[in-house]
Amino acid sequence: MSILHILYEDEFCAVAVKPQGVPTQPDLTGDPDLFTLFSEHCGHNDAPGLVHRLDRTTGGLLVFSKKQNATAALCAQLQKTGVFRKTYLAVVAGVPQPEEGTWCDYLYKDRSGKAFVVRRPRNGVREASLSYRVLRCGDVEGTCASLVRVETHTGRFHQIRVQFASRRHPLLGDGKYGSRFKGCLPALWATELSFLHPVTGERMSFSFTPDAEFPFSCFLQN
Catalytically active residues are 55
Pick the closest to residue 49 from 62, 60, 59, 61 (CA basis): 62
DSSP string, 167-205: TT-PBTT-GGGT----SSS--EEEEEEEEE-TTT--EEE
CB-based contact 135:147 (threshold 8 Å): yes
Report d(CA 102, CA 48) in Å as an integer: 36
CB-based contact 214:184 (threshold 8 Å): yes
**Whats the size of the chain, residue-wise?**
222
